[in-house]
Amino acid sequence: MIELEKQLLFLEKRLIYLNDIKGEIFGERLNTLQNWLAKLKEQLYTLSAKDVQKNINKISAQISLYEKEAEKKLTPLDYVRIVRHPFRISLKDILENVYDDYVELAGADECNIDPAVVAARATINRKVGHRIYTYQVMVIGHEKGHGEEFRNGGSAKPWGNAKALQFMKVAETEGIPIHSYIFTPGAFPIEDYPGAAQQIARNLYAMAGIRVPIIAFISEGGSGGAEAIGLADLRLMFSHGYYSVISPEGAAAIEGKLKEGKKASPELIRFCAEQLKITAKDNLQLGTIDRIIQEPPLGAKREDYDFFNRLKREVIKATDEVILSVKSLGTLRAYHYKKNGYKDTDNIYVRWQLDEKEIQRLIQKRRQKYRNMGTNFYVDLRSPLHRKVSNLKDKFLYAKTYICYDLLRRPRRRIQQFSEEIKAELLVIFNHLLSPLVKLRNKILPPKLSYLVSEELQEMEKVCLRGGYVSPRAKVDKTISCPNAERYGCYDIWIPDLYSEFCGICPNCGHHFPLEYQWYIHCLFDKNSVKEFNAEIASINPLNYKGFDEKLEEARQKTGRHSAIITFDAKILGIELIVAMLYSDFRGGTVGAAEGEKFVLACERAKRLRRPLLAYVHGTAGIRIQEGTIGVIQMPKCTVAVREYLEAGGLYIVVYDNNSYAGPVASFLGCAPYQFAIRSSKIGFAGPRVIRETTGEDIPPDYHSARNALRRGHIQGIWDRRDFRKNLYMALRTMGGKNLYYR
């Protein structure tokens, strides 16, 4: 009887689940089943066991039928519902059922720096023939805990992501693969150190060079939070998961331009869920994931043991695949894989260890993987001939740089260093011989008139801001109030003064009013030194998001440009540099495939030409939601490019201005070693509204201010706009030192 009761209970759960996920399509039919089940429960002890079992089988069959029917009618929004359901498999279930043994690291349940993130050392066994092999792996992932409140729905706090990074490093030291399981609706958007955005950026940067295989499994891939542990060699996705740039509700709030506190209509949410292309199939098509792991109808629940078995095989296979793709293999096995592909590894033992050469290949391959992502989702408007010509030009430039810096400079520098050494030696001897005379002379005569030599004296004169540009805003005879007037007693400012001489800065309190991006292009760099490249790489509407074509066209009309980023060569007092400038006039400075590609190209150009790279963020609202996960993968893609540039010896400086938020900050901007902010700018992961909605708490009005970002250690300094040119010049000189290789 106990067995039957158990079965009944299980049926009940299945029914509840079915009702929760897709109840609306069955209407009365589910009620009938429910009543049947309830009646059966009442009669459990009056009916014979056989009869009960019969009924159970009948009901079960009916439920299975319904489940299959529901499965066919699943809409994108239903997948969201599935992954958020408390019955959904969680990381702990996987650790219990897929791995053979595990030890949870850094915390247990509530007693944990962040219960939303679980790290565990685990073993996984594989049977080959009669032998059993045991692999050691590091499992890192989000734990939703079947609705346990302290798990925070799998939303990792900044320190949770830091914990993930800590154990990735452990895995790297130990040389064991990392399995990362993504079960997150998104990162918890708080700025406390180490900071939501900054920590994700740090994780991405680290993963771009981690020396062990990483395999990621996505169940709930909520944008930046997912990327924090998602930059993997292989990305697998559960068939009933979703992977999206933003929650459908969040997208609907933006789409509907809703005021705070208002809820979006269910229709709008459904519309967004469909437009965002969030399902596993969609993502496979977009190339943002590599494979789908099939789940049972309506998704895997914690009792689906068949699924765990399948998952185990997939986990092993995926790890094998990554390892084998970079391994130097014996002839026989090489032949085998060539013939059958890496997938057929069931019966062959693969050592999950790599030597140095293979590690390099692994990292190279990983970087290439992200480099190639999303390349089909923008257009280059240049004619093929035009493209060829400019390609040729670039090649010539690269060759010149190579000759100048690598072939000629190095030997010359060596000779120079040698001669300096000799001179210094000689001077020591000389001083010894002459010292009595010098002392005598100093006694008799007043100190000699001797000037110190400094070649930089004249240069400092020129670092003041360049004038000659007048903002179109300066043409109104009106005044404007400074937002700090009440606090500092600032007078109203005459607009023609504010937008010309004052550089948009309140002369009393120093508040920075926003200025158009053109001001920076004109005033920051040497005259006629700004030369744009890749202007013709254009944003498109890769997901055919309804209504977005019009918005894109509007942005093009408004700005006369094709994407939200401008990349150009420029000079500051003769120092050549590459600049990537995100500006908010074009779709809020959001980053999509075209922007990501242009940024990567700028990194590559800076690397090849051996020039410093400045990312000036005039404003960015984050990843472009209308590009869905194509947008999201720009985060790892660009971060990889930054890492390659920095490893080649580049100097990368980020300067934030106005409003810099979300994805870009949480990746290729936030990972920069030098980050500065212009005064009065706001930097952060999510805006006040999102914070209020996810954390349920109000934040102070200055929560994202540059000052607070500095206080939290997210940035290295705050710059006055008037000192921008000077500070940038100083930064290039001091951080690059006297021997900047690009001078």
Q: List residues binding other proteins (CB under 8 A).
A: 446-447, 449-452, 454, 456-457, 460, 476-481, 487-489, 491-492, 494, 496-497, 501, 510, 698, 700-701
Collapsing DSSP to helix, strand or coil, 651 comes out as: coil
Q: Which residue has the tokens 């069959």?
A: 61
The H-or-E segment that residue 238 falls in is strand 234-244
Q: How far is the CB of 483 from other proteins (least distance, A)?
A: 12
CB closer to other proteins, 159 vs 729: 729
**Closest distance to other proteins from the beta carbon of 497 (Å):** 6
Pair of tokens at residue 306: 């068949």
Nearer to other proteins, 296 or 510 (CB): 510
Nearer Cβ to other proteins (169/487): 487
Structure tokens at 371: 């480099």
Alpha helices (H) in 445-561, listed in sequence order: 457-461, 485-488, 495-498, 517-524, 548-559
**Do residues 495 and 479 make contact, with C-beta atoms less than 8 angstroms apart?**
yes
Residue whose CB is less far from other proteins, 13 or 712:
712
Q: Could you tell me which of 103, 106, 123 has the C-alpha nearest to residue 115?
A: 106
Closest CB to other proteins among residues 104, 723: 723
Question: 330 or 447: whose CB is closer to other proteins?
Answer: 447
Beta carbon nearer to other proteins, 3 or 477? 477
Closest CB to other proteins among residues 28, 461: 461
Query: Which residue in this structure is represented by tokens 């509700």?
Result: 249
Alpha helices in 447-565 (DSSP H): 457-461, 485-488, 495-498, 517-524, 548-559
- In the complex, minimum distance from the CB of residue 656 to other proteins, in angstroms, rounded to a whole number: 22
Helix axes 196-207, 158-174, angle to 10 degrees: 20
| Shortest distance, position 507 Cβ to other proteins, whole Å | 9
CB of 721 to other proteins, least distance (A): 13
What distance in Å separates the CA atoms of residue 524 and residue 90, rounded to the nearest whole number? 52
Interior/surface letters 38-65, b for 16+ CB within 10 angstroms, e for the rest: eebeeeeeebeeeebeebbeebeebbee
| 3 state DSSP class of 566 | strand
Taking the C-alpha atoms of residue 430 and residue 127, their distance in angstroms, rounded to an integer, is 78
Minimum CB distance to other proteins, residue 494 (Å):
5
Q: What is the number of helices (H) and of strands (E) in the chain?
A: 28, 20
Is 35 or 481 the residue whose CB approaches other proteins more closely? 481
**At closest approach, how far in Å is the CB of 718 from other proteins?**
14
Shortest spacing between CB 674 and other proteins, in angstroms: 22
Concatenated DSSP letters for 127-149? EETTEEEEEEEEEEEE--GGG-G
* Contact of 232 with 363, CB cutoff 8 Å: no
Nearer to other proteins, 573 or 594 (CB): 573
Instruction: Report the nearest approach of other proteins to the CB of residue 262 (Å).
Output: 17
Query: Minimal distance in Å, beta carbon 704 to other proteins?
Result: 13
- The one-character DSSP state at 230 is T
Judged by beta carbon, residue 423 or residue 448, the one nearer other proteins is 448
Beta bridge partners of 616: 581, 655
Q: Least CB distance from residue 715 to other proteins, whole Å?
A: 20
DSSP 491: P
Q: Are 92 and 106 in contact (CB under 8 A)?
A: no
Q: How far is the CB of 696 from other proteins (least distance, A)?
A: 14
Cα separation of 535 and 470, whole Å?
Answer: 24
Q: Provide the CB-side half-sphere exposure for 278 (13 A, CA).
A: 36
Query: Would you state the structure tokens that stand for residue 318, as one six-digit string?
Result: 């995926």
- Cβ proximity of 696 and 153 under 8 Å: no
Task: Tell the smallest beta-carbon distance from residue 465 to other proteins (Å).
Answer: 13
Give me the count of residues in the chain.
743
SS3 content of the chain, % helix, strand, coil (to 5): 50, 15, 35
Closer Cβ to other proteins, 28 or 486, answer by number: 486
> In this structure, is the dihedral angle defined by the CA atoms of residues 628, 655, 193 and 483, taken in order, positive or negative?
negative
Nearest CA to 236 out of 323, 286, 294 is that of 294
For other proteins, which is the closer residue by CB, 469 or 494?
A: 494
Give the nearest distance from C-beta 122 to other proteins in angstroms.
45
Specify which residues 578 forms β-bridges with: 569, 613
Is there a cis peptide before residue 213, judged by omega within 30 degrees of 0?
no
Nearer to other proteins, 305 or 488 (CB): 488
Nearer to other proteins, 149 or 697 (CB): 697
3 DSSP assignment: H
The least distance separating other proteins from the CB of residue 471, rounded to whole angstroms, comes to 16
